[in-house]
């Protein structure tokens, strides 16, 4: 399966997120909740990196090596937009 590693990580994050929900429902110590949220954020960032790497090594390379300049522009614009979105707070 193409994204097996990413899917496994997402399932782990899903379970972790359910744990955070329980912590909030049980009125756990705020700092503990925040630390768990940060762990989920880091895990999601890792999944993003895995998927981005796959995209760069497949779709982007194909477009850059291809004959269609508009397709090259399109994929490069997408990458730029992803980074712009990631840097917004």
What pLDDT is attached to residue 89?
Answer: 62
Give which of 9, 44, 36, 41 is closest to 20, Cα–Cα.
36
The owner of tokens 């004959």 is 67
Parent domain of 83: 4-87
What pLDDT is attached to residue 20?
Answer: 98
Distance CA 65, CA 17 (A): 40
The owner of tokens 């497949």 is 58
**CATH at residue 54:** 1.20.58.1000
Say how many domains are in the chain: 1
Q: pLDDT tens string for the chain (89 positions)?
A: 678 999 999 999 999 999 999 999 999 999 999 999 999 999 999 999 999 999 999 999 999 899 999 999 999 999 999 989 988 86
Distance CA 50, CA 14 (A): 17
Distance CA 58, CA 43 (A): 23
Distance CA 72, CA 65 (A): 8
pTM over 0.85: no
What pLDDT is attached to residue 54?
Answer: 93
Distance set, CA 29 to CA 17, 22, 71, 87, 88 (Å): 16, 12, 50, 29, 29
């Amino acid at each position: 399966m193409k994204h097996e590693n990413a899917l496994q990580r997402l399932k782990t994050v899903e379970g972790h997120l359910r744990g955070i929900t329980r912590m909030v429902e049980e009125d756990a110590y705020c700092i503990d909740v925040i630390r768990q949220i940060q762990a989920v954020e880091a895990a999601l960032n890792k999944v993003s990196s895995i998927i981005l790497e796959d995209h760069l090594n497949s779709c982007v390379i194909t477009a850059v090596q291809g004959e269609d300049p508009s397709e090259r522009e399109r994929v490069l614009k997408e990458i730029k937009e992803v980074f712009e979105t990631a840097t917004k707070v």
